[in-house]
């Protein structure tokens, strides 16, 4: 029987705690050998979440599945394959359709029997229910804190100390920030001005998002706000769907802005919002787009179509340089609005994954709420390893027999594996780990409509080195007035 080995590691923490690629591969190869299976291919997704099936090696494996290159898929644990009940069900159906079996080498279920298939579906459903139930409880708790006038955790806002008192040096920067904005500078311009003056935000340079966050946040005007911008599980931009499920209450913090000042600059922000192109016809994504078909760069192209009323519709698109120079690439052109939509959707999907849930969990305390629990689990693992050494010493001193040593070691090994499994489930996110790059990335949908074309292009270049576009079409366009089917295949950050 030919086996396909699938390996996934999403974080450095997993690698550090024994779930590294090498550790999984070693165990899986040994298991395949014990079953007398021939390993036809090893698929490794390094640094990918299991929130969906959009992983390079997962997609390659599914392609090989259709070509019947193996008879069984072997994984270390089910959650290496997927953490979604619907994806689990789809995978099982695909495996069944191609007469391919599924096997976990550390869990007692597989798809070779009807009972095994049922059990896998139940486990996946329970895991998904636990994640959603936890996130729901956290959201309810945070909303209740806001109703009571208490700040719902998270990092201390710039300008304040932990007792919600104003920090004078930071207060001065915030007042300058507002003055610069009200004098006519854009978000990017305000950030550049502050950075040029040598004014840092707790050691970090100011960005368009951090300027926007100060101006948009009612906390500085004495209010507490908690809510979500998700609708039907999708990220909802302010421009398209508005902010939903927001909770406001009076807070106990000292005021940086009066409510009238806050309303004044919020009205100015709304007035400056860009719902289309500014006078400068800037290519927002030039220098970062890459063709998935040939690997070539995609360059900006400007053209216009004549409307029935005689006016012209001005269009910016991106074309693969290999196609433009006649080198045979079949990649269609991508309109700028399509790339914009794909990027904001891609960021929204990242925000709606486990990472977003972890951020919500982390925001319930001044520090990562999981730190203490992780430390407890690590301490218990250390105790188990120390006991194993003790049993070895007792055997060496003839205090226990070899059979007793084997029994104790088997028990301790089982305890260690259970603790390691629990540790691997723990989120590894720490509130203080949000880098400036992450801040810009996850804040981009918020500030996007507040920036002109030049600022948008500069922000894209600040965050991304490459954005690879994918479409199944070849030199073809979708229906008139519709975008072609497309997605972002991969991203490389600066």
Looking up tokens 């390993």, which residue turns up? 39
Counting Cβ atoms within 10 Å, is residue 484 exposed (0-12), middle (13-18) or buried (19+)? middle
CB 493 within 8 A of CB 358: no
- d(CA 342, CA 447) in angstroms, rounded, equals 16
For residue 348, count other CB atoms closer than 10 A to its CB: 20
Pairing state between β 230-231 and 298-306: unpaired
CA distances from 43 to 58, 75, 83, 401 (A): 7, 10, 18, 43
CB 211 within 8 A of CB 181: yes
- d(CA 250, CA 428) in angstroms, rounded, equals 33
Which H or E element spans position 17? none
Phi/psi for 302 (5° steps) reads -110, 130
Quick one: which of 366, 363, 494 has its CA closest to 441? 494
Of how many residues is the chain composed? 494
Q: Which of 10, 104, 208, 356 is catalytic?
A: 10
- d(CA 38, CA 18) in angstroms, rounded, equals 25
> Which one-letter DSSP state was computed for residue 15?
I
Which two structure tokens, joined as six digits, stand for 337? Answer: 């609005």
Residues facing residue 75 across a β-bridge: 6, 104
487 flagged as catalytic: no
Which H or E element spans position 48? none
Chain centre to alpha carbon of residue 355: 5
Sheet with 72-75, strands from edge to edge, namely 38-46, 2-9, 72-75, 101-104
CB 50 within 8 A of CB 82: yes
- d(CA 268, CA 75) in angstroms, rounded, equals 55
CB 186 within 8 A of CB 206: no
CB 75 within 8 A of CB 104: yes
The vertex-102 CA angle with 47 and 81, nearest 5°, equals 20
CB 491 within 8 A of CB 461: no
The residues annotated with a catalytic role in the active site are: 10
């Amino acid at each position: 029987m030919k086996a396909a080995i699938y390996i996934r590691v999403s974080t450095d923490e997993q690698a550090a705690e024994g779930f590294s690629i090498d550790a999984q591969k070693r165990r899986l190869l040994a298991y395949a050998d014990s079953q007398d299976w021939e390993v036809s291919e090893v698929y490794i997704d390094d640094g990918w979440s299991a929130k969906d099936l959009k992983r390079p090696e997962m997609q390659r494996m599914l392609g090989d599945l259709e070509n019947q290159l193996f008879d069984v898929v072997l994984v270390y644990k089910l959650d290496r394959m997927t953490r979604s009940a619907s994806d689990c069900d789809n995978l099982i159906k695909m495996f069944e359709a191609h007469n391919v079996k599924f096997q976990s080498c550390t869990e007692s279920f597989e798809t070779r029997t009807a009972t095994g298939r049922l059990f896998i579906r139940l486990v996946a459903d329970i895991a998904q229910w636990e994640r959603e139930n936890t996130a729901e409880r956290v959201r309810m708790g945070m909303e209740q804190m806001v109703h009571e006038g208490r700040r719902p955790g998270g990092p201390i806002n710039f300008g304040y100390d932990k007792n919600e008192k104003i920090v004078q040096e930071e207060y001065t920067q915030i007042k300058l920030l507002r003055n610069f904005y009200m004098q006519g500078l854009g978000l990017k311009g305000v950030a550049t001005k502050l950075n040029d003056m040598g004014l840092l935000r707790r050691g970090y340079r100011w960005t368009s998002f951090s300027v926007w966050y100060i101006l948009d946040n009612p906390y500085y005007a004495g209010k507490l706000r908690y809510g979500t911008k998700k609708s039907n599980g999708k990220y909802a931009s302010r421009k398209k769907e508005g902010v939903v499920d927001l909770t406001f209450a009076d807070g106990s913090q000292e005021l940086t802005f009066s409510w009238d000042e806050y309303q004044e600059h919020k009205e100015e922000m709304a007035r400056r919002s860009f719902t289309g192109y500014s006078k400068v016809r800037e290519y927002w994504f030039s220098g970062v787009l890459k063709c998935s078909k040939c690997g070539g760069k995609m360059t900006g192209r400007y053209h216009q179509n004549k409307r029935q009323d005689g006016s012209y519709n001005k269009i910016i698109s991106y074309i693969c340089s290999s196609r433009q120079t006649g080198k045979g690439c079949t990649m269609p052109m991508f309109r700028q609005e399509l790339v914009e939509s794909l990027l904001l959707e891609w960021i929204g999907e990242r925000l709606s994954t486990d990472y977003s849930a972890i951020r919500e969990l982390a925001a319930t305390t001044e520090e990562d709420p999981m730190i203490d629990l992780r430390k407890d689990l690590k301490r218990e693992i250390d105790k188990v390893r120390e006991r194993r050494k003790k049993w070895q010493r007792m055997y060496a001193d003839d205090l226990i027999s070899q059979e007793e040593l084997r029994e104790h070691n088997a028990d301790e090994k089982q305890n260690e594996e259970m603790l390691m499994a629990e540790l691997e489930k723990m989120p590894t996110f720490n509130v203080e780990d949000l880098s400036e790059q992450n801040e810009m990335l996850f804040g981009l949908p918020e500030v996007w409509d507040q920036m002109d074309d030049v600022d948008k292009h500069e922000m894209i270049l600040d965050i991304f080195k490459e954005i690879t576009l994918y479409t199944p079409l070849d030199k073809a366009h979708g229906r008139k007035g519709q975008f072609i089917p497309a997605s972002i295949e991969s991203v490389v950050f600066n």
